[in-house]
């Protein structure tokens, strides 16, 4: 018997700037595949994250050695998926359990068909993962259950990553020393290179160079002190609208006890109305 296709329904996802998708979809994972596919308006962050949820790239204390998993891609839709794997996936990517299980199976199918790395632990469990891309699963010793979902990506699913959707979240890593030095002279908390570059490009219409970094840092510092930092109550995570069409994501955790400005993105609504509302 042929399984009927799911009914066509609105895509519940968002573009990178927080705009709701207007497409419809019949896909089982609920995504139309044409928008950016984010499940939250603003980046979903956690108390123990400085950007991407690197903490989910965990495999346990076992010793792993190369081995052949011996599964066909069709078995991705026959294997059981444990509640723990579903819960981890749902927490990381902010999706419902049914969607999480569907996407885990789709990932497993691609892992098998694309001959991802497979290794066996000293306790007999298996892991199959894309080394380069940062997605993987732990499979039970008898290959009957998906036990764990592992990823280096905070909110991009494998389907989003595979189609080239870029991350909305960045930590401070990778910021050139000359940028960090200029920023630290003017801004009282660390700020990621991504937030700096996005502010310069979208608000000032400039590209950050060694010649203009000091001027950009000063203008950014003024903007933050006037519109963002006074509204931050030093919570573990915050999304603050600046009244000029942008939402800033700020984090505070063990690595950054004084906080870090992680990223900024367009809010997607009328900045003038928000500014007027704030002044009331």
User: Mean pLDDT score of the chain, rounded to an integer?
Assistant: 84
46 pLDDT higher than 50? no
At 67-103, the pLDDT tens digits run: 999 999 999 999 999 999 999 999 999 999 999 999 9
271, burial (CB in 10 Å: exposed 0-12, middle 13-18, buried 19+):
middle
- Could you tell me what percent of the chain has a pLDDT over 90? 50
Q: What is the mean pLDDT of residues 134-163?
A: 92
Q: Which of 16-30, 52-66, 105-119, 127-141 has the lowest mean pLDDT?
A: 52-66
Mean pLDDT is lowest, of 8-17, 138-147, 256-265, for 256-265
pLDDT greater at residue 269 or residue 279: 269
- pLDDT the model gives residue 50: 40
- Domains of the chain by residue range: 9-162, 177-279
Give whole-number Cα distances, 108 to 5, 29, 69, 89, 143, in Å. 21, 14, 12, 13, 12
* CB distance 250 to 232 below 8 Å: yes
pTM of the model: 0.59
* Cβ–Cβ < 8 Å for 234, 224: no
Asked whether residue 226 carries a pLDDT value surpassing 90, the answer given is: yes
Within 11-132, residue ranges assigned H as helices are 83-93, 97-113
Q: What is the mean pLDDT of residues 269-275?
A: 39
Please check the confidence at residue 279 and state whether its pLDDT lies above 80.
no
Phi-psi category of residue 243: left, alpha or beta, with phi > 0 → left and psi -120 to 50 → alpha = left
Comparing 211 with 112, the larger pLDDT belongs to 112
What is the model's pLDDT at position 54? 43
No. of helices (H) and no. of strands (E), the chain = 7, 11
In the predicted model, what is the mean pLDDT of residues 180-206?
A: 88
156-185 confidence digits (pLDDT tens): 899 998 887 877 775 444 466 678 778 888
pLDDT exceeds 70 at position 234: yes
Other CB atoms within 10 Å distance of the CB of residue 42 = 20
Residue for token pair 């066509």: 8
Q: pLDDT tens-digit profile of 26-43?
A: 988 889 888 889 998 887
* Separation CA 153–CA 280 (nearest Å): 40
Q: What is the pLDDT of residue 182?
A: 85
pLDDT tens for 236-249 read: 889 999 999 999 99
Q: Are 229 and 221 in contact (CB under 8 A)?
A: no
Bridge partner list, 263: 249
């Amino acid at each position: 018997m042929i399984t009927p296709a799911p009914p066509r329904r609105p895509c519940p996802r968002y573009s990178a700037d927080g705009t709701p998708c207007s497409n419809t979809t019949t896909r089982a994972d609920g995504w139309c595949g044409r928008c950016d596919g984010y499940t939250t308006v603003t980046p979903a962050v956690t108390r123990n994250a400085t950007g991407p949820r690197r903490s989910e790239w965990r495999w346990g204390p076992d010793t792993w050695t190369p081995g052949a998993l011996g599964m066909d891609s069709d078995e991705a839709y026959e294997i059981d998926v444990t509640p723990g794997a579903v819960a981890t996936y749902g927490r990381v990517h902010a999706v419902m359990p049914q969607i999480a299980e569907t996407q885990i199976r789709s990932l497993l199918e691609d892992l098998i068909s694309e001959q991802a790395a497979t290794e066996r632990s000293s306790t007999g469990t298996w892991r199959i993962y894309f080394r380069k891309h940062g997605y993987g699963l732990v499979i039970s010793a008898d290959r009957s259950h998906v036990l764990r979902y592992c990823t280096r990506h905070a909110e991009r699913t494998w389907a989003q990553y595979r189609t080239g959707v870029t991350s909305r979240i960045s930590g401070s890593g990778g910021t050139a020393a000359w940028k960090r030095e200029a920023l630290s002279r003017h801004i009282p908390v660390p700020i990621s290179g991504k937030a700096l570059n996005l502010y310069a490009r979208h608000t000032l219409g400039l590209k950050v160079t060694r010649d203009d970094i000091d001027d950009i840092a000063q203008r950014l510092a003024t903007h933050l002190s006037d519109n963002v930092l006074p509204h931050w109550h030093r919570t573990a995570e915050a999304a603050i609208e600046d009244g000029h069409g942008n939402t800033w994501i700020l984090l505070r955790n063990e690595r950054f006890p004084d906080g870090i400005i992680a990223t900024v993105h367009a809010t997607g609504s009328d900045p003038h109305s928000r500014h007027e509302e704030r002044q009331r």
